[in-house]
Each structure stands twice: as C-alpha cells, then as structure tokens.
Amino acid sequence: MTIQFNTETFRDDYSFRNSDWAIKRFPFPFHEDSYMYSVNMEQHRGGPEGSVYEKRFDVDEHYVSEMQDRAIVLADDPLRCQSLPHMTLAGWDTLELIMVSKSEDYPDLFELHRDGNRWRWINKPMGIDHTFTFLDETTLPCGPLEYITRQAQGDYAVLDQRGDMLYMDAGMVTTQADWSLDFDIGMDFFEWHAPVPLAHEMGIFKRALKFLLNIQQGAPARRLNWTMTVNPLLDTSPENYHKWGIQKTSLTPENIGAKQHLRVELQTFYRLPRSNALLFPIRCYLIAFQDLVRIPKWGRRLHRVVRDLPDELATYKGFIANRPLMLDYLGRHDDGLPTSPGVWPDLDSEPPLQTQNDARSR
Amino acid sequence: MSAAPQKARAGAEKIDVIVSAVVPLNELVTRFEFTRADDKAFPPFSAGAHTVVEMRDGDRLRLNPYSLMSDPADSSQYAISVRRDDAGRGGSLFMHRSVKVGDRMKISYPVNLFPLDLRGRKHVFLAGGIGITPFMAMIAHLERMGGAWELHYACRNEALGTYVDQLTSRYPNKVHVYFDDRNQAIALEDLLDGQPLGTHVYVCGPKGMIDWVHATAAAHGWPDENVHSEEFLAPQPGKPFEVRLCRSDITIQVGESESLLEAMERCGVDAPFLCRGGACGQCETDVIEADGTFVHRDHWLDDEDHTSGKKIMPCVSRFVGKSLVLDR
Ligand code: HEM
Ligand code: FES
C-alpha cells in the first residue's frame, strides 16, 4: 500500500483534511447509542485489514504533517519531552519496538538493518537515513525516546512499574487532550487520573491498573478514548489553553460542521522487554462533524451519544457549553432509525439519512 | 465496549524451542539451554525475568517458572538452571530425568516479577543456593550498563556452589561467597549499614532467608521499596473439568491448558469477551448450579460475588468439583 502524505497544518489556517479513505477507516468509538466509562480494554493483536487496528503502530496520510507539528511544539517548549534518568533504557526499548514494528509492517516506508549493535534506520517519508549504535546515546542527536517519537505519530507516556504501581517517569506529549506531562511527571496511576469524574467511584481505575500491571511481553492491549476539539488542533495542552480555549467560543451554526471535530485516541499498552516498563502510545485521530455525518450510522449515533452523555462527562471533556449547538447540528443527521451494533460504518446495510420530505412522502 | 476484539490467547505468548544443551553443574543443579525452533532471535528480556516451561509428563502438563539466567543481551539463546527437588511436585525431576538435547519444548515469553529498580545507584544481591539464577542475568546487565553491584552468595558447601568459580574468577572484588559447612554467614547488619544512599537490596533464596532480609532491613530503617524479593506464583495448570452450558444445550470439557472461555469458543459457543484478562467484565456468566469449588482469578467480581458462587469470569477463572452448570 502506498500512502499519499498530506501537506496540511494543525494550526493557523488549519488546512488539515481527511481523505475518503481516512474517513472510512476513522476509529469511531461508540459501539452502541450511548456512552459511559468502562474498563474497555482488549488485546492489540491486529484487526480488520485496512483498519487503524491492523498494525502495531498505524501510519496514515497525516504522518509527515503531524511530525512537522510536533517539531514546532518542541521548538517552543522542550519540556514536552522528558525522561527521568532511570528511564533511558525504556527509551531504547521504545525505539527498538517502533523501528522493528514499522519496518516489518511498512517495509516500503521504513527499513531497519541491524548488524549487532550497529543499526541503520531508513525513514523514507521523512527523508532520514541514519546509522547509530544501539544503546549508545552519543550516536543519536537526542535521547532515544525523543529521537523515535519525533518520527512516530501520537503521544507516548512511558511508565515505570515499581511495587505494583505505575509511575509516569518519561514521555513525549504534544497532541494531548488537555493534560500536561510536565505537571504529571513522576505521578502514579491514581494521581494523574485524579481529575477524571465518576470513574474512580465505579472502580474502573483499580481494575484497569491490575490489568495493566499484568500486561506481558508479546501480548499488548488497547482501548479507545474520545473527546471534542474545536478546529483540528493537535496540541490542546494546558500550557497553551489561552490560545485554544477561546476558539471554543467561535462556533456558530454555520461553521460548526467544519470546525467541530470528534477527537479519538487509540491507546495501546506494551510491556517493554529490557526495562520492564510499560509503554502507552496515545494516537489521536480527528474528524470534522461534516465528514463524520457522511456515514449515516455514525451521524445518528453521535447525536444520541452527545445528547445523553452525563453532564459530568460533558463538563470534563470541555464541551458542555457547546452541547446545544452540537445537538442542533447533529439532530439534523438523526432520523430516529435504529442503528446496527458495533463501530463499523456498515455503509452497505445501513440506510441513508431519511430527510423530512422522504418521511412525509411515505 | 470494543472496536475489534481479537480471539487471541490471554497472557504470555509461547515460544517453540529446542533444547540445545544440558549441562550438569553439580550433584543437584543442571543448566538447560534453548534455541528457537524457528531460528528467529529470542525476544530481549529484562534481568530478573522468568519463563514458564511447559512439560508434557505422560498425560500430565506441568508448568514451572524458572529464572532466565543467560545474558539478556544474547538473543541467540535462553538458559535456565534447575535444581533437582526430590520432594517437590515433580517438575524439576522431570527436567533432570527426561529432558534431552534435541527435545522440542514450549516456553512462555519472559515475565518479570523481580525487576531491578533502575533508579538504584547501587544494587546489593543476596543469594541463597539456587537463588543465584536471576542474579546471573542482573550481573550481566549491570556490567554492560556500567551499574554498581555486589553479590553475597550463601551455599551449602563448595561442591554445591553453583557458578561460584565462574563468578569469583570474573568479578573477584564484587562477589562474596559464604559456605554453611564452614560456618560462614552473611553479616547482614554490617552490610546494610555500610551502603550509600540510593542502594537497593535484592534477595532470592529460601523463604527463611527472604523473611530474615526483610525483617533485618526494616529494623535498620530501610524503606520497604528498597528491598526486593522474588515471589514465584507457580502457575497452576487447572485440572480439566466439565461444564454444562444450558442455553447452548451442550456439555463441554475444559482442558488443563485452556481457559473456560477458550473451551467454549472451541465448541462453537459465541461467548462475549473483551480483555481476556479478568478486568473488563464482559464475560461475566451466571452460575445455575455448582457442586464444587471455584478458582476465581479475576479482578472484576467483588469478594461477595466470589463467595456467593453465583458468578464466574470464564476468561481466567476455573472450577474444581463434581458438576457446574452455567447460564450460557
Ligand atoms: C498507563 C496508562 C495510562 C496513562 C498514562 C493514562 C493517562 C491519562 C491522563 C493523563 C488522563 C487525563 C487526566 C487529566 O484530566 O489530567 C487520562 C484520562 C482518563 N483515563 Fe487514563 N491513562 C492510562 C490508562 C488508562 C486505562 C487503562 C483506563 C481505563 C480503563 C483509563 C481511563 C481514563 C479515563 C476514563 C480518562 C478520562 C478521559 C475522558 O473522559 O476524556 N486510563 N488518562
Ligand atoms: S473478558 Fe474481560 S473479564 Fe473476562
């Protein structure tokens, strides 16, 4: 498969676009017409061909532009990538996992040639051809975690596991839904999840932690999370809230279809072999409402989910003020027909939107 | 719920291996070396990790965990050292008596329940007898990374001093050996008192030794998180059992090396699942009738559910007894 990489921006003029291909394979996160937090974890060992679940690290048309956006964020704020001193080995683990996975899963885009610890890495989309010594930091332009995550879509939290607890001791975080690595660094699993409503009381984090502590080498897992973002912004960080927060007030009935995006995170979990740390890649996918409603099932369902979402969640996810506007727009794409179970578009079996006229003429 | 849940096996993946060497080290201990049957490289592992070796002993399946003692940087082979335990459950006897060079076996991906604390400025290893094995890998790792360490190794006598010669000749200044039959003992209190800040202590050996180290360290003001010991939770292959699935109207057998969920799938029953690890709650199943005991291993049900005998999570939990009827 050859991927045509987009030339696009996630800031200023927001030229980000999804192709038809990207729309159809969008990781729509709702398998039914309502949503509540759950321990929604499953194994990450492939998925349907062409879906974002198929490869260990999905590469799509936004790859090159997302990496350019990351470079801009890092130039402005180097603290977006941090690694406590004991996490260097986990950084090498991460580099190895990503290089091996990408070169095996996308041989036409990435190549890795290993001769003992002499490694040659070729990243064709980014025009990189670099030879270095594995485990020797002096042969890379920066630390191993930063080096490889400047070439891999999504954010990365690297968790040290000590005494039945996970600690956020390293990461690369530039495409996050309003949380900060610099604030969370060194925190434990319950501390960094403290702001999340309802889930603690539901026992979700206790169970999730037990599951994560048991994740073993060769048996990665995944889950989905979602929120809403006005304009296709990757970097919605607390550090820059003053820049993007006010954009939420710019929504109008006329521009909402283009400006309002559903933001979905495909989160995966890998046990790292040399360090025994846990790698937590958080891959962000954005889709404009106007593109999403082109899949009739998704339009119907998103309307019902947003309508019935508990206020606590809408507040935490930061869209409670815009919910009425969203419902106006989405309501026009929900004809009340039932939806098929599961997340897939089901374009062949789900009927197109019935307009008012259709309904009346029957 | 889910996007595209996969019916992959829960837990550690398995690796097909060939026994490439069987090296008796002394009267009790033998080293077994493995190469991969598919000629690929072994996955890297972290020092302190173990692998679970599957043994087909007649019609019994034995699963024994053994520390990986080879150099973690060597991906061409894995090695374990097995002490013959004449009074044990039989796994080590099987290894000693029946396993030969050229045999094919299955071992699990590495699992680490005894990792190095990578923040440690210095690592002090306390080994008793066969407890030396995880430290062999830790030492190789720290030597490569330039980490500070020392080893205090108690053995019954010289003849049973597994790897003593190799260790003392390679690292004469870092290895201290104590022989019981010469009344030599680790001077633990002095040892603990003399350590720089940021030192971590690791103990692997008989239970009495582990308890002694934890207690002494605590009495000397060491924080618990700086004292590490290996806890082997020997994985129990469940005994086979029979289940009646009422809604599907069939009776199925659950084999010793498959889960109840896998057995249902094998028999064509479409059972719900997501995590396959006892956490998500999807596979929760009502018990209609049970005469026996449940072996609950999930994190989903609470204690009350577990004792009630009314629910089971088929992805991880099992049953021992006469009969079990489920609402599935
Ligand atoms: C070790 C891996 C994980 C890391 C590093 C992580 C990190 C985070 C962070 C930084 C946040 C944002 C908190 C804030 O508002 O500041 C968050 C939110 C959340 N996390 Fe995690 N998390 C992990 C695993 C999980 C797992 C396994 C689950 C659950 C089943 C989970 C459930 C949630 C939920 C429900 C939220 C709220 C999200 C929303 O409503 O948008 N997390 N997580
Ligand atoms: S499948 Fe998740 S608890 Fe059984």
Q: Which chain B residue has its CA at the smallest distance from A100's CA?
A: B43
**What mean pLDDT do residues B203-210 have?**
92
- Contact flag B119-A86 (C-beta cutoff 8 Å): yes
**Is A271 one of the annotated active-site residues of the chain?**
no
What percent of chain B has pLDDT above 70?
94
pLDDT digits (tens, 9 = 90+) for B144-159: 999 999 999 999 999 9
Is A40:B1 a contact under the CB 8 Å cutoff? yes
For residue B300, give the ligand 2 atom closest to its CA: 3
Query: Which two structure tokens, joined as six digits, stand for A146?
Result: 């930063």
Q: Which residues lie across from B203 on neighbouring strands?
A: B126, B229
Is residue B60's pLDDT more than 80?
Answer: no
- Contact flag B280-A46 (C-beta cutoff 8 Å): no
Is residue A118's pLDDT more than 90?
Answer: yes
Domain with CATH 3.10.20.30 in chain B: 241-326
Tell me the average pLDDT of chain A: 95
Task: Give B-chain residues touching A186 at CB under 8 angstroms.
Answer: none
Is A98:A82 a contact under the CB 8 Å cutoff? no
- Contact flag A42-B5 (C-beta cutoff 8 Å): yes
Which of A162, A208, A214 is facing B225, going by the closest CB pair?
A162
Which of A211, A216, A276 is facing B279, going by the closest CB pair?
A211
Buried b (16+ CB within 10 A) or exposed e, A166-189: bbbbbbbbbbbbbebbeebbeebb
Is residue B5's pLDDT more than 80?
Answer: no
From the number of C-beta atoms within 10 Å of its C-beta (0-12, 13-18, 19+), residue B58 rates as: exposed
Residues 50-89 of A with CB under 8 A from B: 51, 53, 84-87, 89
pTM of the model: 0.92
Question: Ligand 2 test: best mutation among B270, B282, B299, most atoms within 8 Å of CB?
Answer: B282
Determine contact: A349 vs chain B, CB below 8 A. no
Question: Ligand 2 test: best mutation among B259, B265, B283, B302, most atoms within 8 Å of CB?
Answer: B283
B122-230 fold: Rossmann fold (3.40.50)
Q: A56-70, A80-94, A202-216: lowest mean pLDDT where?
A: A202-216
Q: What is the reported pLDDT for A357?
A: 57
Nearest to A154 by CA among A248, A264, A54, A244: A264
pLDDT digits (tens, 9 = 90+) for A176-215: 999 999 999 999 999 999 999 999 999 999 999 989 998 9
**What mean pLDDT do residues B34-41 have?**
94
- Contact flag B280-A41 (C-beta cutoff 8 Å): yes
Q: What is the reported pLDDT for B231?
A: 60
pLDDT greater at residue B57 or residue B169: B169
Query: Which two structure tokens, joined as six digits, stand for A123?
Result: 């990243």
What are B's interface residues with A at a Cβ cutoff of 8 A?
1-6, 8, 10-13, 43-46, 48-49, 72, 109-112, 115, 117-119, 144-145, 225, 274-281, 299-300
Domain with CATH 2.40.30.10 in chain B: 14-108
Domain with CATH 3.40.50.80 in chain B: 122-230
pLDDT greater at residue A260 or residue A2: A260
Q: Which residue has the tokens 């394979």?
A: A25
Return the CATH number of B241-326, one of 3.40.50.620, 3.20.20.70, 3.10.20.30, 3.50.50.60: 3.10.20.30
Ligand located closest to A182 CA: 1
DSSP string, A15-84: -----HHHHHT-----SSS--------EE-S--STTSTTSSSS---TTHHHHHHHHHHHHHH-GGGEEE-
Q: Which residue has the tokens 């048996």?
A: A219
Confidence band, pLDDT 50/70/90 cuts, at residue A344: very high
Query: Which two structure tokens, joined as six digits, stand for B250?
Result: 């069939």
From the number of C-beta atoms within 10 Å of its C-beta (0-12, 13-18, 19+), residue A197 rates as: middle
Q: Whose CA is nearest to atom 32 of ligand 1?
A: A205
Is B136:B171 a contact under the CB 8 Å cutoff? no
DSSP string, B135-155: HHHHHHHHHHHT-EEEEEEEE
Question: To the nearest whole angstrom, how far is the Cα of B287 from the nearest Cα of chain A?
Answer: 22
Q: What is the distance between the alpha carbons of residues A141 and A350, in angstroms, rounded to a whole number? A: 51
Q: What is the distance between the alpha carbons of residues A330 and A20, in angstroms, rounded to a whole number? A: 20
**What mean pLDDT do residues B122-127 have?**
97
Active-site residue, selected from the candidate residues A25, A80, A150, A223: A223
For residue B279, give the ligand 2 atom closest to its CA: 3
Return the CATH number of B14-108, one of 2.40.30.10, 3.20.20.10, 3.40.640.10, 3.90.1310.10: 2.40.30.10
Confidence band, pLDDT 50/70/90 cuts, at residue B207: confident
- Contact flag A40-B145 (C-beta cutoff 8 Å): no
Instruction: Give Cα separations from B13 to B9, B110, B111, B316 (angstroms).
Output: 8, 9, 10, 15
Is A69:A9 a contact under the CB 8 Å cutoff? yes
Which of B12, B115, B275 is facing A218, going by the closest CB pair?
B12
**Ligand 2 lined by B283 (C-beta under 6 Å):** yes
Is B63:A293 a contact under the CB 8 Å cutoff? no
